[in-house]
Amino acid sequence: MKQFFKFFTASCLGVFAAIALMGLFFVGFLGSMAGNKPIVPKNTVLELNFSSFIPEKSGNVESSPMSFEQVDKIGLNSIVALLEYAATDDKVKGILIKGGGVNAGQATVASIREALLKFKESGKFVYSYADFYSQSGYFLGSVADSVFLNPNGMVDVKGFATMIPFFKNAMDKVGVKMNVFYAGNFKSATEPFRRTEMSEPNKIQTREFLTSMVDQYKDLVSASRNMSSDELDQIMTDYKGRDAKSSLEAGLVDKIVYWDEVESTLRRELEIKADKKIKLKSLSDYNAAVTLPKGSKAKEKIAIVYAEGTISYGTDTKGSISEAKYLKILEKIKNDDDIKAMVLRVNSGGGSSITSDIIWRAIENIKAAGKPVVASFGDYAASGGYYIAAGADTIVSAPNCLTGSIGVFMMFPNLTELMNDKLGINFDEVKTHPMAVGLSTTKDLNDFEKELLQKGTDDIYEQFLSRVGQGRGMTRDEVHEVAQGRVWTGTKALDLGLVDVIGGIDDAIKLAGEMAGIEDFKTKEYPTIKETFLDQVVKGISETNNVQASLGINIDKSDLEMVRQYREVKNLILDRTPQARLPFILKVD
């Protein structure tokens, strides 16, 4: 009986703890819902910090409930619109870019950078301050009127590089062999599983697109800092941003200061007293406080479809592209008589080849309905990301977008040695036909099975070439010449005929209107982001208190990044379908 009461009491305590935890959730949620709409006070300074991931469309990103991060992350298009609005808002006196890192690709950073340059045309100030600047952080911060750096900081401009882990030796040691099938000499996504170092073709393509990207970086940064591109190149070579003093001497920053000195500068700019609090407002808070102009009231519309994230089969998660979700969207656009054209905004390194082809077909049906389609490329539009856009009437690309990678691969693990020799597990079989068991990871592939998989890979590659040729007006051999899995920047893709125009999403929207023959139109964005009740709860918690700290949970952003990387590798290994996928996700620190 004593044991009964002991376990009963423990169970009750567990229930009470769970109820208390849920109570904490709802207190945060209700607290956020009860508050009034925030306001923008006079003499506001917008504080920009882009350390969190920036999606293309606001909220279109999968979030973990245990991370307690804001679920309504502002998308690139909204960031640009908010900065444009702030330039005309009398209550906003200027902008402070704070924090030396940006969690986004180079095309995204360049778009925000361009928006800040337009903001400066209003005559309002833009300052930048960081304890230390990453290369992407400095790419953004260099646009400021004055760039400030902590006395113990650095500006980590050192050129672009990529480092790739190779798993073959480790897999050999544990008894796992990866059967690899690919089409295209430059399709390097499988190299970590079949080689111990980069192949020469892979090194050639990587060096070429890194050089192209760093050249664009140098051109833009040097123009903002009033130095030549060659001078910035030498600064990178000599690593002159290694400390604050060298950064100042090299002209990378304007002043070495502590945060309180930046505050003093802001007070002088705002003409307020030393004891007055500076009214800093984050972009999220500003977004919640203002109502952006709705634009045209025209009946005619242009649909903007954001295709961002990995292309997957059968999923329906935010921040991913699947036929399950996008077929409904594209069918709706085709049948809506008020929608006269479509812009496909792509920011994807690819994924499932079958999903890519299904979406390609749906876009062809939209074109057949008489509606022009313009593709707009962001950070990535590679492999499957290029596939879905290949049939667009016009392709507009950011200059530093990574695109192309027209190739296919398939991987199939062989666990025979791991099972038999390492774990002592054996398999036997009885079958009526040669393929009755199917392809199994617990036995070696025979020659027929290997031939089958290679032929399937080659067939899909030929289909990919055909889709591109049909869309770009090129022969099969002309496409093959620039394909083979090779990655290009948007600028080089223009020379090769893979894209038509260098520009951003606004250029694509304008082109779509011209092609549809309409001057007055409004835009309709897809996919529609539906906020779940759990999203609202997490949002309420994150807005009212630091629940991670109060619950003793410590989930760092680097932890979440490791989880994302783990998912990428896991999906790459376990997905046994043909893949049209970029071999990497390039992140410039």
| Band of pLDDT at residue 475, cut at 50, 70 and 90 | very high
523 within 8 A of 304, measured Cβ to Cβ = yes
CATH architecture, range 44-161+207-289:
Alpha-Beta Complex (3.90)
Give the pLDDT score at 556. Answer: 52
**Side-chain half-sphere of 222: how many Cα atoms within 13 Å?**
16
Give the pLDDT score at 6. Answer: 47
Stretch 114-133: mean pLDDT, rounded?
97
Give the pLDDT score at 577. Answer: 62
User: Is residue 114's pLDDT more than 80?
Assistant: yes
Give the pLDDT score at 102. Answer: 94
| Band of pLDDT at residue 582, cut at 50, 70 and 90 | low
Q: What are φ and ψ of residue 498, in 5° steps?
A: -85, -20
Intervals of CATH 3.90.226.10 along the chain = 44-161+207-289, 301-407+446-526
| Band of pLDDT at residue 68, cut at 50, 70 and 90 | very low
Give the pLDDT score at 567. Answer: 53
- Average pLDDT of the chain, as a whole number: 87
User: Is residue 541's pLDDT more than 90?
Assistant: no
The CATH class for the domain spanning 301-407+446-526 reads alpha beta
Stretch 459-477: mean pLDDT, rounded?
97
Element (H, E) at 220: helix 200-224
User: Is residue 374's pLDDT more than 70?
Assistant: yes
Which pLDDT tens digit goes with each residue over 548-560?
A: 444 444 545 555 4
Q: Alpha-carbon torsion 380, 383, 389, 393, what sign?
A: positive
Write out the catalytic residue numbers. Answer: 187, 383
Min mean pLDDT across 135-144, 487-496, 528-537 is at 528-537
User: Is residue 328's pLDDT more than 70?
Assistant: yes
281 to each of 32, 42, 178, 260, how far by Cα in Å? Answer: 17, 11, 52, 17
User: Is residue 9's pLDDT more than 50?
Assistant: no
pTM of structure: 0.85
Give the pLDDT score at 548. Answer: 46
Stretch 65-74: mean pLDDT, rounded?
56
Distance CA 101, CA 133 (A): 6
Which pLDDT tens digit goes with each residue over 342-368?
A: 999 999 999 999 999 999 999 999 999
User: Is residue 2's pLDDT more than 50?
Assistant: no
